[in-house]
Amino acid sequence: MTRRLILCACAATSLFMTASALGQTAPAAKPQKTLEYLTAADIDPARLLAAPPVDGSPIAQADLAETRRIAAGATPERLAQAKWDDEHENPSAFDATLGKDFDLRALPATAEVLRIAKLDGDLAAGAAKKFFARKRPWAVDSAIQTCDPNDKPVGSYPSGHATMGYTVAMTYAALIPEKAQALMARADDYAYSREVCGSHYGSDTRASAVISAVVVTTLLKNPEFQAKMEAARTELRAAKITAQ
């Protein structure tokens, strides 16, 4: 009996040591993203945005009614566009606006300024989402269908997708001013897709435009970013994408 107990204890110890070793070799958590040029003060949500409408208030009810109307009235074609936009939260959403031959992969300097702007814009939107913790339309009204049921139910204000869209559009507009109107129209339509998807209110996407304007304006004042923008302009002129 004593021998059996010793063997069991050894086996248990071996299993514990194996489990501990497995735990030590588990993949490390992804490194947290940090701001590239902006500071925490630059993206302080309390300074950038008014609070969203209070749940149940007349303004919030009107916001919800408008989102219901848009989501319910979307044509199959517009819903398909909204789903495509949902799946493309990156600068490729603007490729068609810039022309059929536009290829960001061949423009590393341009891709770099977009990467920086998108990163700081994403972090600004994320900070605001956490600060305001607004419920999404479909979390308030389960009858509203959404393009992405895996989204977190809290984090509606502002829209991350719309922030990306406006930030990229504004950065491109600074580089290719002759296409500024088309780019901003595309950003508006991309933001509207979030309402078609039932993922955001109109007030969410309007807040995104505010955050994006602050992010891009602040970046454009940074000397290092200005130098990167000039390199991107030179690259775009050489590629005959802009005449400016």
According to the model, what pLDDT value does residue 99 have? 93
pLDDT digits over 228-239, tens only?
A: 999 999 999 999
According to the model, what pLDDT value does residue 29 have? 60
pLDDT digits over 174-213, tens only?
A: 999 999 999 999 999 999 999 999 999 999 999 999 999 9
Judge whether residue 243 has pLDDT over 80.
no
Average pLDDT over residues 158-187: 98
Per-residue CA distances from 71 to 18, 20, 67, 188, 201 (Å): 53, 50, 6, 16, 10
Contact in structure between 141 and 64 (CB atoms under 8 Å): yes
pTM of the model: 0.87
According to the model, what pLDDT value does residue 11 have? 41
pLDDT digits over 77-130, tens only?
A: 999 999 999 999 999 999 999 998 899 999 999 999 999 999 999 999 999 999
